[in-house]
Amino acid sequence: MQSSGGSDLQRACDGGDGNSCVALGAVYRKGIGTNRDPVRALELFEAACRAGSSRGCGLAGQTYLYGDGVSVDNAKAMTDLDKSCHHDYGPGCFDAGMMYRTGVGVSVDETLADERFRAACDLGVPRGCDPEELPSAISGIFQ
């Protein structure tokens, strides 16, 4: 990435600014102004997570969950998604709830699933507000 904007984001990310790491990760995830590089995006999301960004943790977890350019790793996905949920990232709460509901990478645990869905709902993710309407089987949820 050659633009000064990318360099500025990289410097800020290197300095521990999680939001800059997330923004730069999104650039590489989508290939905006550069080649798409999901591995680099994941590295940046993980850096954001280490810097305390709940969104960075959630995006790293989703990358592992969906296998976006990297191997699916449900254990890492759950670790990052739960971390993001505990730090108020609603989409991470929802995905963690689905993992607990469906038993992807963890044992099925309806109590934890409901807790994560409730948190997702409270954080503005409407799909988490009515978990009875969500499927209880994987059938394409994470594809």
Instruction: Please give the pLDDT value at position 143.
Output: 40
Architecture of domain 53-143 in this structure: Alpha Horseshoe (1.25)
Domain extent listing, the chain: 1-52, 53-143
pTM: 0.86
Show the tokens assigned to 31. 């290939």
Looking at residue 135, what is its pLDDT? 67
- Tell me the pLDDT band of 140, cut-offs 50, 70 and 90: very low
pLDDT tens for 46-100 read 999 999 999 999 999 999 999 988 999 999 999 999 999 999 999 999 999 999 9
Which of 60, 67, 73, 72 has the alpha carbon at shortest distance from 22?
60
